[in-house]
Structure 1
Amino acid sequence: MIGLYDSGDPEIARWHVRLAQAAGIDAFLASWWGDFKERDRAFESGILAAAEELDFKIALLDERAQFHHDFAAYQAMLAAALAKYKDSPAYLRIDGRPVVYLYQIGKDPGLSAEEFPALRGAVEAKVGPVYWIVDKLAHDPDAQREGDEDRIKKIPEDWLAVAGVDAFGFYSTFSRFRASHYEELAGKYSCIASQAHGAGRKMLLPVHPGHDTSRFRSDPYIMPRRDGQTLRDYLRAAADAKADFTLVTSWNEWPEGTVVEPSSSWADPYAYLKILAEWKGVSFVEPPLPEGLRR
C-alpha cells in the first residue's frame, strides 16, 4: 500500500503500531537475528522505539534458536539481547517475566530437549526468570498409519517432559501440514492444544490469511485467501481449540504472501485488520498514513 519501506524508519514503525492497535492486536513478536546485517539496529530504531512511544508490547521471535552454529555463542547472544531489552516498558511480559519465542523448523530442529535446560540456565542466570514459548511440532507416523488425520502432528514427548517450558506453539501450518478450511483445522488444532494443556503448558496456535510462494518457487504452495474466509476459519479453529495465545502469521512477510498489513492489492486495503478487529470485539478506525505519504 505504501510501497517499499524500511522497517527501521520510525514513522513507518509508528504507523504499524497504530494499525495493530486499531485491529486489537496485543503485541508483536519481532523476528530477531541478533546483529546480523544490523537487523538489531532496525529493531531498536523502528518497532521497539514506536512501541515504547505508543504504549504497545513487543517480544523477540528468536530465529537464532534454529539458525546457529555455536551453541555457547548463541546462549550468550540471547542473554545479552534480553538483558538489553527486557526492562523496556514495551517489552512483553507474561506472569511478570519477559517473553521469548524460540523458533524451530519441523525437520532438523536447531534446539533439542536435552539442550534447552542449558539454554534456559545460561539466559536466566543473567536476566532472571523468562517466559519460554517453544516452537515444537513433529510428525506422528503411528497416527498416519492408522489414518488418524487429526493426530498426524504432535508435540514430542521429550519436550512435553522438559521443565521450564511455559508454552508450546508453531509459526505456521503450511510448513507442517496443508489446510485452509475450518474442517481441515479443527480436529488437528484441538488435538495439539490438548497435548500441551494435558502437560500443564499453554498453547499458541497460528492463524493465516493465506500463503503464496509462486513468485520464487517452482513448486509453490498457495493457500487461497477466499476474501478473508481463510483467516476467519483459522481464528474459529484456534478459539474452539482453546488456544491460550493466537499468533497471526504474519504481519508483513510479503515474500510468502501471508501478510495482514494493508495492501493495495485488495479491494479494501484494511480488510484483514478489520477481520481481526471484529474477532477482538473492537471497532477498526483507520489511522493516518505515515508522514510524507498522506494525501
Structure 2
Amino acid sequence: MAEKIPEPVADAPAKISVGTYYYPWYIRSKHKWKQAMRLHLRTPQIPKAGLYDSRNPSVIAEHIEQSVRAGIEFWAVSWWGPDESTDRNFKDHILTHPEASKLKYAILYESTGRFGSFKNPDYSNWMDDMRYLKDQYFDNPNYLKINGRPVVFVYLSRVYFRGRGADALEQMRRELPEIYLVGDDVFYGDSTSVYKSEWAKNFDAVTAYDVYGQSISKLGGTQKAVQFLAHNYQQAKQAANSVGTAFIPAIAPGYNDTAVRDGHPGRARYFTDTPDSQPGDIFRAMIRKAAIPNTDPSCDNIIMVTSFNEWYEDTQIEATSGTAPPSKTDDSESGTYYTGGQTYYDYGYLYLDILRQEIEKSFMVTEGLNGTCNGKLKQN
C-alpha cells in the first residue's frame, strides 16, 4: 500500500512576509521573447507591460505597482556577476527608480553562471563577488535585511555546497559574517528522501527554488502533488530548525519550459484530478497547505514565490494583458507541442490577487483569535 502523506496542520502566523524572484534580463526583442511558451500559443498571451525591456522606467514602475498590489514586500533579483546586464539593470535602473522605496531587494546569486560545471565547480569568483555585493548593494537603504543582516539567496546551493565548497563558505563567514545566506537547498522527489540537517548547517536559512520538480513534475497537477510538497516542507523545516537554521517555504503557479529546453512536461495551472478546477487553484492550494503552515518566525515568516517574471519557464505571476482567449493549441507542427493539450488562460491580475487574498485571509484568521475591530484588520 502506498505511503499516506499526512495533511499539514495550518497554524498561520500573525504576519507573513512575501518575496518573489525577479528577472531583470529582458530586452525588447521578439526573438528573445519567443523563449516564452505563451508567445507560441495560437493567440499569444503577453505581459500587461508588453514585450518589455527591463531597463524601461515605466516597466519597473508597473512591476513595483503590481508587487504592491499583491502584498509582495521584496524581490530577490537574479544576478549573474559584476557589470553583467542584470547587475547594471538592478543597480542603475531598479534601485535608482523613483518608486524603488516601495519594496525591499536582495540578490539571487546565480551560481550556475559563477561556479560553472556541476561536476567540477570553480569557486574563484565567490569572494570577489561577495565583496562586490557588499560595496555596491548592502548599504542601500532598500536592501533586504533579516535580523539586521543583508540577505543573499544562493541558487542551487544543493548542487554546489553539499559535500563540497566548504572552504569558500568558511572564508565568507570569516571575512563577511554579516551576510545572511539563504541556500536553495531543499529538494527531494520521492517519499523515501529526507532532507538532512547536516546540509542546512551551511546556511542561515534554507529554501526551495524548484517547486515544480518536487511536486507537479512527478505527480502532475494533482491534489497529491500539493500534499507531497507540504510534507517535504514540514520535514525540511524540522531538520533545519534542529540545527538552528531557518526555513523559507516557496510556492509556484505552474511550470512550462518547453520553449527553451526539452525533457520537462509542462503543467498548466489548474488541478487535473478535480472536477471544474479553475486557473489558480494549484497556486492557492500551495499557499494554504504548503506555505503558510511552514512559515518560520526566526526569518520573518517569509514565503518565496517562484517567480514574479520568469516567463521562459512559465512560473510568472506578473499580470498578463488579459485579452487573449484560452488556448490548448500552439504554433508547433503538432499544434500541441508547447501546451501538451492543456488549456492556458490569459489570466490578468489573477495570481497577484490570489496571493494578497490568501495572505490577508491568514492574517485575519489569526487576528480573529485575538480580537478584531468590526471584522477588519487591526492597524498597528
Fold-level match, TM-score > 0.5? yes
Match of 1:13 among 56, 60, 68: 60
> Greater share of helix residues, 1 or 2?
1
The 3-state SS of whatever aligns with 1:277 is helix
Question: Cα 1:220–1:136, aligned 2, differ >3 Å: closer, same or farther?
Answer: closer
Change beyond 3 A, Cα 1:96–1:188 = same
Q: Which amino acid aligns with 1:170?
A: A
Post-superposition Cα deviations, 1:221-246, rounded to whole Å, max 9, x if no partner, equal: 22221111111111111112335321
Whether the 8 Å CA contact 2:182–2:204 is kept in 1: the answer is: yes
Aligned to 1:281: 360
1:245 is matched with which residue: 302, 314, 331? 302
* Identity across the alignment (%): 28
Q: Does 1:170 align with 2:243?
A: no
Deviations 1:89-127 (A, max 9, x none): 110001001000111165xx22345534633533762x5
Q: Spell out, residue by residue over 1:42-67, the C-alpha distance to the aligned partner (whole angstroms, 9 max, x if none).
A: 11233222387433100001013774
Partner in structure 1 of residue 102 of structure 2: 55
SS in 1 for 2:198: helix
C-alpha separation between the residues in 2 aligned to 1:238 and 1:169? 11
Counterpart contact for 2:185–2:200, Cα < 8 Å: no
Q: Are positions 1:88 and 2:129 aligned together?
A: no
Task: Name 1:220's counterpart in structure 2.
Answer: 264
* C-alpha distance in 2 between matches for 1:112 and 1:51: 41
Q: 1:196 to 1:263 in 2, by over 3 A?
A: same
TM-superposed deviation, 1:271: 0.6
> Residues of 2 paired with 1:232 and 1:253: CA distance?
19
Once residues 123 and 232 of structure 1 are traced to their aligned partners in structure 2, the CA distance between those partners, rounded to angstroms, is 38
- In the alignment, the residues of structure 1 paired with residue 354 and residue 69 of structure 2 have an alpha-carbon distance, to the nearest angstrom, of 11
Query: Please, which runs of 5 or more residues in structure 2 have no aligned partner?
Result: 1-47, 117-121, 271-278, 325-344, 362-380
For 1:169 and 1:94, locate their aligned partners in 2 and report how far apart those are by CA, in whole Å.
Answer: 15
Taking the TM superposition and a 5 Å limit, the aligned residue runs for 1:5-84 are 5-35=52-82, 37-50=84-97, 53-64=100-111, 67-69=114-116, 70-84=122-136
Asked if the contact 2:114/2:125 (under 8 Å) is kept, the reply is: no
TM-score computed with the length of structure 1 as normaliser: 0.80
In the TM superposition, residue 186 of structure 1 has moved relative to its aligned partner by 2.4
Match of 1:196 among 212, 225, 240: 240
Q: CA deviation at 1:159?
A: 2.0
Q: Distance in 1 between matches of 2:170 and 2:148?
A: 17
Instruction: Name the CA shift for 1:66/1:81 in 2 (closer, same or farther; >3 Å).
Output: same
In structure 2, the partner of 1:118 is 168
1:101 and 1:132 in contact (8 A); partners too: yes
TM-score normalised by length of structure 2: 0.64
1:198 shift after superposition = 2.1
Cα pair distance change 1:224/1:105, threshold 3 Å: farther
Cα distance in 1, alignment partners of residues 50 and 312 from structure 2: 14
SS in 1 for 2:65: helix
* Counterparts in 2 of 1:218 and 1:38: CA distance versus 1, 3 Å: closer
Among residues 173, 177, 184, which one is paired with 1:135 in the alignment? Answer: 184
Q: 1:259 to 1:116 in 2, by over 3 A?
A: same
Q: 1:269 to 1:161 in 2, by over 3 A?
A: closer
Deviation beyond 6 Å, 4+ runs, structure 1: none
Give the letter for the 1:78 counterpart: M
Q: Is the 8 A contact 1:52 1:88 kept in 2?
A: no
Give the superposed CA RMSD. 2.6
Cα deviations by residue, 1:246-268 (Å, 9 ceiling, x for unpaired):
11001000011111001135454
Instruction: Specify whether residues 153 and 211 from structure 1 end up closer, same or farther in structure 2 by C-alpha distance, changes over 3 A only.
Output: farther
| Whole-angstrom distance in 1 between the partners of 2:239 and 2:170 | 22
Is contact 2:248–2:295 with CA below 8 Å preserved after alignment? no
